[in-house]
Structure 1
Amino acid sequence: MCRWLAYTGEPLQPSIVILDSPHSLVAQSLNSPLGAETVNGDGFGFGWYPVDGGPGAEPGYFHSIEPAWNDQNLRELTRSIRSPLFFSHVRAAAGPPIQQTNCHPYRYENWLFMHNGYLAEFPKVKRDLTYAVDPSLYPHILGTTDSEVLFHLALSLGLRDDPIAALGAAIGMVESVGHEHGIAFPMQGTIAVTDGETVWAFRYSSQGRTRTLYHSVDVDVVREMYPDAERLKLFGSHAHVIVSEPLNDVPGVFLEVPESTVAVVDHSGYRHEPFVVSA
């Protein structure tokens, strides 16, 4: 469906991972070996937090319907700024039209959200799920994707207070409504959400066969394994990357996130928790 990347840690020039890695996100937009689609050329998005923003800072974002590999603005932007936390996403449209408002990541206040996957047979459940969004949030749904509805449904169910519980409740509603409409496996995907301080990355599907999700191991561990790797000097000790698929083929650098798991990343590092969907 799509590919995405999240970075958190010491301020970094985003192009280092979005453009310049051996298997960067832009490279994945042209050739994604682990993706459901090989090419993800139906637009992209980039969202970032400022270096001096502090807690509660609103991120900036840039969306384009150009293929990521063909957009000079993405290259200029990601090489011109530094950010301690950023999201980027390349899209393979599965139905909703190719337009800027359908590009991830989505933003609400200080939050960013992106999704790789789908809500199965979305037209059948769209009305019920959209009506479940809090009326005060409904005007903020600008596009036509299932992902944006899922984000605002999670916001309605308490994302700002407890992201894990809110996503569990939102996906539980997706599954409940989907089953009412005869959909066997309503939810598929990996999700990243952040408040600008912590990143929550979810891997879950109703069928238990979710799209791939990986995160880097601690940089200091990688330095011990590969002491002569010059590229590692670009990253601080708290640098963490979460990706749909690894950015390189170097053994031991990326670990797969298990099924039905949320990987939580903050200043202390990673932790994994079981992701339980509320019925």
Structure 2
Amino acid sequence: MCRLFGFRSSVPSAVHPSLVTQKNSLLIQSREHKDGWGIAAYGAEAAPVVAHGVGPAHSDPDFERVSSRVSSHTVVAHIRLASVGAVELRNSHPFHHGRWTFVHNGTLREFARHRAAVEELICPTLRVGIQGTTDSERCFYLFLTRLAARHPIVGSVPVEGVARALAETMGLVAAITDDSQAQQRSAMNFLVTNGEVMVASRRNRTLFVSVGGARCELGGLPVAGTRLEQLIVSSEALCGGPNWAPVQEEDVIGVDAGLVFHRWRVPELAGDVVPPPTPGPSQHAA
């Protein structure tokens, strides 16, 4: 298992408390999730600045140094507990491609047996970008494949398109890896952003949202269509109190470029997904 963190704000803000000083910060959680860390922050450039470490965040001074310097409108962070792939830098999240950043909390069932089938669904022009050996990185490139089938991934993309591509990735992977008779399911908590939209899914792991003072409905999440000042997504609540609401199983949540909150169900987005022809080098993928 791993732990993920996503931050999207209307104004650049520091994330040092969430990553280091809060009661249940990622630094504290890294005492259990000790197999590497990563932080991606978006600034003036379209592509994020990404820092990785291969050791435990709580004993790596670079983690606190990087955390203390980050002030951004969009940040993604991750601490890893290795399940698939060796503990090495190329397997540390976040994974990034162009302006896109991706983290995963969970594991695909029997990935070694299903690896080839998952890779077959990835556009060849994107597949060559895979550097590590994790199931997570392959899910990222499958997501990019699904997204590129409908939208140019080098530009702005509607939040619904991102959510649909993420849900379709989950559906395709589940069709390969899940054992319906044993009721064993791959865990796929994903979070992805291009610095503008941010979308996260929950499947077989916990996921929480904090939005400050935004109007909420029963259950704690904001009402769909609410414009937020800030969205924080985390595998665990980072502190006590009522400010954290659980995301429901098989939900996809996110914000668009204007920080308007959206919420979907995975089955509604994925449907009976059938892989379309993957885009070639002259098509959307870039």
* TM-score, length of structure 1 as denominator length: 0.82
Q: Shift in Å at residue 180 of structure 1?
A: 8.8
Residue number in structure 2 paired with 1:33: none
Where 2:23 maps in the other structure, the secondary structure is coil
Residue number in structure 1 paired with 2:250: 260
Residue number in structure 2 paired with 1:42: 35
Q: Is the 8 A contact 1:178 1:184 kept in 2?
A: no
Q: Distance in 2 between matches of 1:181 and 1:201?
A: 24
Residue number in structure 1 paired with 2:5: 5
Counterpart code for 1:215: V
- From the superposition, tell whether residues 47 and 181 of structure 1 become closer, same or farther in structure 2 (CA, over 3 Å): same
- From the superposition, tell whether residues 219 and 19 of structure 1 become closer, same or farther in structure 2 (CA, over 3 Å): farther
Q: Distance in 2 between matches of 1:181 and 1:142?
A: 31
Greater Cα offset, 16-25 or 142-151 = 16-25
Greater Cα offset, 165-174 or 58-67 = 165-174
Residue number in structure 1 paired with 2:53: 64
Q: Shift in Å at residue 270 of structure 1?
A: 2.5
Where 1:201 maps in the other structure, the secondary structure is strand
Q: Shift in Å at residue 146 of structure 1?
A: 0.4
- From the superposition, tell whether residues 64 and 199 of structure 1 become closer, same or farther in structure 2 (CA, over 3 Å): same
Length, aligned pairs only: 247
- From the superposition, tell whether residues 121 and 182 of structure 1 become closer, same or farther in structure 2 (CA, over 3 Å): farther
Residue number in structure 1 paired with 2:138: 149
Q: Distance in 2 between matches of 1:76 and 1:178?
A: 39
Q: Show structure 1 runs of 5+ residues with no match.
A: 31-38, 205-209, 223-236
Segments ≥4 residues shifted beyond 6 Å: 180-183
Q: Show structure 2 runs of 5+ residues with no match.
A: 217-227, 273-286
Q: Shift in Å at residue 59 of structure 1?
A: 0.4
Counterpart code for 2:236: E
Q: How does 1:179-258 map to 2 (within 5 A)?
A: 185-204=184-203, 210-219=204-213, 238-250=229-241, 252-258=242-248
Q: Shift in Å at residue 157 of structure 1?
A: 1.5
Where 2:202 maps in the other structure, the secondary structure is strand
Q: Distance in 2 between matches of 1:183 and 1:171?
A: 19
The alignment-based identity, stated in percent, is 28
Residue number in structure 2 paired with 1:126: 115
Q: Distance in 2 between matches of 1:74 and 1:90?
A: 10
Q: Shift in Å at residue 278 of structure 1?
A: 3.7
Q: Distance in 2 between matches of 1:127 and 1:91?
A: 24
* TM-score, length of structure 2 as denominator length: 0.80
Q: Distance in 1 between matches of 2:214 and 2:122?
A: 43
Q: Distance in 2 between matches of 1:126 and 1:42?
A: 22
Q: Shift in Å at residue 184 of structure 1?
A: 5.0
1:81 aligned to which of 70, 74, 77: 70
- From the superposition, tell whether residues 278 and 168 of structure 1 become closer, same or farther in structure 2 (CA, over 3 Å): farther
Q: Distance in 2 between matches of 1:126 and 1:71?
A: 32
Q: Is the 8 A contact 2:179 2:185 kept in 1?
A: no
Q: Shift in Å at residue 129 of structure 1?
A: 1.1
Q: Shift in Å at residue 168 of structure 1?
A: 2.2
Counterpart code for 1:48: A
Counterpart code for 1:244: S
Residue number in structure 2 paired with 1:34: none
Q: CA RMSD in A?
A: 2.2
- From the superposition, tell whether residues 181 and 201 of structure 1 become closer, same or farther in structure 2 (CA, over 3 Å): closer
Residue number in structure 2 paired with 1:28: 29
